[in-house]
Chains A and B, each alone.
Chain A
Amino acid sequence: MSLVLLIEQILNGLQFGVMLFLMAAGLTLIFGVMGLINLAHGSFYMIGAFAAAATAAATGSFLLALAASLVAAAVAGAIVEMTVIRRLYNRDHLDQVLATFALILIFSEGTRWLFGSFPLFLEIPEYLSGPISLPFGIQYPQYRLAIIAVGLLVAAGLFALIARTSIGIQIRAGESDREMIAALGVDISKLYTFVFALGAALAGFAGALIGAIQSVQVGMGEPVLILAFVVIVIGGIGSIKGALLGALLVGLTDTLAGFLLPAAFGLIMEPSAAASVGSSLASMSIYVLMAGVLLFRPTGLFGSS
């Protein structure tokens, strides 16, 4: 195995991790601030991708498509918060799981009704398509590098928002004591709507970015959602820092295990058995990682007990 291939796989892991972060950031904010389990977060990812595909088809502009994904997912998030989620804050987690699961079904069938059953097309823009030559003779897709860069920028922006702005202070305060900040005159329900819409917008943005290299179709959000939950459990519920570190860990573990384990078994077995055993074990790798982290830090890497 060559060094070039290994570096390429590390970049792939980073790109996957950054994308997971965009999903997990909203999920962890919503859980941390409002104490709400939102299974419908993957639907916002799908809404973002469909909005982007529809906009790109109508205008031909990728940047407009990205903007549309942010707006559509944020608006969907705000509407859902105001009509459904608001009634669930004081209910227990089982009610939240049931209600948000129902939302998944409603969004999936609604999207099918609007766009039909067949996948949509969203293309990488001309200026980002094709590979770029990096040092050591690596050929790496420009678009994936762009995802890494954009994802890290969004992460930096989110940290700044939480640490530096007054909304950020309210969000952090809402995490620790919601009665107190309500008593101090902060409009809690507006704050919650904002946080929910922000989380939805990040998920929609991730959906649009990924939609250009994957398939834009109904149900695309669910597999990502499961990984995003793994990320926030590893990172510690409610922590943005934890979500970033957890996402990068999961991205790297998943990519490297999928690459190295079959190769490692190949040294001791015949190729087709090694491929099969190795890839089966690789599918488990992130859950083993999660179990390992929870063994030593039961509340996750940055979780508060």
Chain B
Amino acid sequence: MKLKFLALVTALTSAASLAQADVKVGMITTLSGGGAGLGIDVRDGFMLAIKQASRDDIEVVIEDDQRKPDIAVQLADRMIQSEKVDILTGIIWSNLAMAVVPSALAQGKFYLSPNAGPSQLAGKGCHKNYFNVAWQNDNLHEAGGAHANSTGYNNTFVLAPNYPAGKDALTGFKRVYEGELSGELYTKLGQKDYASEIAQIRASGADSVYFFLPGGMGISFLKQYADSGLELPLVGPAFSFDQGILQAVGDAALGVANTSQWSKDIANPTNEAFVASFQAEYGRLPSLYASQGFDTANLLISAVDVADVADADAFQAALKAAEFASTRGDFSFAENNHPIQDVFVREVIKEGDIYTNKIVSTALEDHSNAYVAECKM
């Protein structure tokens, strides 16, 4: 009896706030193994936003995919079939996203990507229930090309791992870059020794280097590059200069230009509050992954406020409106549900004992992506 009464009160109070419904979110992200730092940051950013909004009508189920596509698929099946989630989110890696997202969408679920943005899901495979809150994979590399142009580099050496996102990266860079390439190398995925590549850069006569080597690969490359005595300017996307790995690179990263849609010094009230509260909550500075998790949760909350997730059309419209305060400042969705946003050039600096980034310029303003025309929704 008492329970029933409580349930009634809860129902009444939630009905009081506009069109509010209970929403179940399944977060599949990488919490163990080599790439765990990224998933942990996305999760922590996401949960911080939920906590700040004190939303107990949004339930989040979190599972670890161990960076393995087969495990991610199993988790997605379980979340959709037995946990009955309405919305999936959390995946870091493009290959995992390609394994999970299309089938989740086919089952009528929503997917909000806090990181992976493979071109397949932006172009022909775009979907009205798929929203990417981070970027389309090519974006930061396109900004790298724009930065090389504006700095006047015209003989850049480019390298990336030999796998789809690595090829997308160099394609993105070359799409915008106008100069010559002094060399183009594809390294092994997961490679940690770059002595051979650095020797080739030295011999190539390049005037600058653009590299996409995420995670541990980037740490290794930067340390070895600094030790090689080569002094050509380096440019890369933010993934090699993320807050989580900068301390491991140390001085070798100082002064390197990197492209990002987010930085902790973007001056807007949302971002300032986010950086301060993230630091207070977790005792470390947020990374771009944390900001992406935070923005994803806030986008979700903004949509839940105005539409019922069971009404798919209304919920799509609510998400697409992107009526939330982003840590990045201006944010809206392009036709294919990928961000239109500024991409900045940051430089690695040292603040006290902490290595971090500061914005030095804007590489691309209100930048969309190259796949909008291919998307027919």
A-B pair number, CB within 8 angstroms: 127
For residue A119, CB closer than 8 A to chain B, the reply is yes
CB-based contact A215/B216 at 8 Å: yes
For residue A262, CB closer than 8 A to chain B, the reply is yes
For residue B155, CB closer than 8 A to chain A, the reply is no
For residue A112, CB closer than 8 A to chain B, the reply is yes
**Interface readout for A136-177 with B: 1 if CB under 8 Å, 0 if not?**
000101011000000000000000000000000000000000
Give CA–CA (A147, B29) in the complex, Å.
Answer: 38
Stretch of A87-95, A236-244, A275-283 on the interface side: A275-283
Give CA–CA (A198, B36) in the complex, Å.
Answer: 31
B contact face: mostly helix, strand, loop, or mixed? helix
For residue B22, CB closer than 8 A to chain A, the reply is no
Give CA–CA (A244, B156) in the complex, Å.
Answer: 39
Give CA–CA (A121, B203) in the complex, Å.
Answer: 29
Q: Smallest CB–CB gap between A26 and chain B, Å?
A: 20
Residues of chain B within 8 A (CB-CB) of A275 are 184-186
For residue B154, CB closer than 8 A to chain A, the reply is no
CB-based contact A214/B199 at 8 Å: no
CB-based contact A118/B247 at 8 Å: yes
Give CA–CA (A210, B250) in the complex, Å.
Answer: 16
Give CA–CA (A213, B226) in the complex, Å.
Answer: 10
Residues of chain A within 8 A (CB-CB) of B187 are 258, 279
Give CA–CA (A4, B244) in the complex, Å.
Answer: 38
CB-based contact A214/B216 at 8 Å: yes
Stretch of B104-112, B189-197, B261-269 on the interface side: B189-197
**Interface readout for A101-139 with B: 1 if CB under 8 Å, 0 if not?**
000000011001000011111011000011100000001
CB-based contact A2/B203 at 8 Å: yes
Stretch of B71-79, B217-225, B293-301 on the interface side: B217-225
Residues of chain A within 8 A (CB-CB) of B103 are none
For residue B24, CB closer than 8 A to chain A, the reply is no
For residue A100, CB closer than 8 A to chain B, the reply is no
CB-based contact B167/A276 at 8 Å: yes
> How many residues of B are in contact with the other chain, CB < 8 A?
40
CB-based contact B192/A223 at 8 Å: yes
Q: Smallest CB–CB gap between A102 and chain B, Å?
A: 15
Give CA–CA (A175, B181) in the complex, Å.
Answer: 55
CB-based contact B186/A118 at 8 Å: no
CB-based contact B196/A9 at 8 Å: yes
Interface residues on A, range: 35 or more
Residues of chain B within 8 A (CB-CB) of A129 are 227
CB-based contact B34/A219 at 8 Å: yes
CB-based contact B184/A271 at 8 Å: yes
CB-based contact B37/A213 at 8 Å: no
CB-based contact A118/B195 at 8 Å: no
CB-based contact A139/B33 at 8 Å: no
Give the residues from 149 to 201 in chain B that come closer than 8 angstroms, CB to CB, to chain A. Answer: 162, 167, 170, 181, 184-188, 190, 192-193, 195-196, 199-200
Give CA–CA (A118, B289) in the complex, Å.
Answer: 13
Give CA–CA (A218, B203) in the complex, Å.
Answer: 34
Q: Smallest CB–CB gap between B182 and chain A, Å?
A: 10
Give CA–CA (A68, B216) in the complex, Å.
Answer: 23
CB-based contact A109/B227 at 8 Å: no
Give CA–CA (A212, B199) in the complex, Å.
Answer: 19
Residues of chain A within 8 A (CB-CB) of B185 are 262, 275, 279
For residue A23, CB closer than 8 A to chain B, the reply is no
CB-based contact A120/B248 at 8 Å: yes
**Interface readout for B232-251 with A: 1 if CB under 8 Å, 0 if not?**
00000000000011011110
For residue B32, CB closer than 8 A to chain A, the reply is yes
Q: Smallest CB–CB gap between A101 and chain B, Å?
A: 14
Residues of chain A within 8 A (CB-CB) of B200 are 5, 259
Residues of chain B within 8 A (CB-CB) of A96 are none
Residues of chain A within 8 A (CB-CB) of B196 are 9, 12, 255, 258-259
- When C-beta atoms are compared, the residue in chain B nearest to A131 turns out to be B229
4 pairs of A and B residues whose beta carbons are closest in the complex: A215-B219, A119-B248, A215-B216, A131-B229
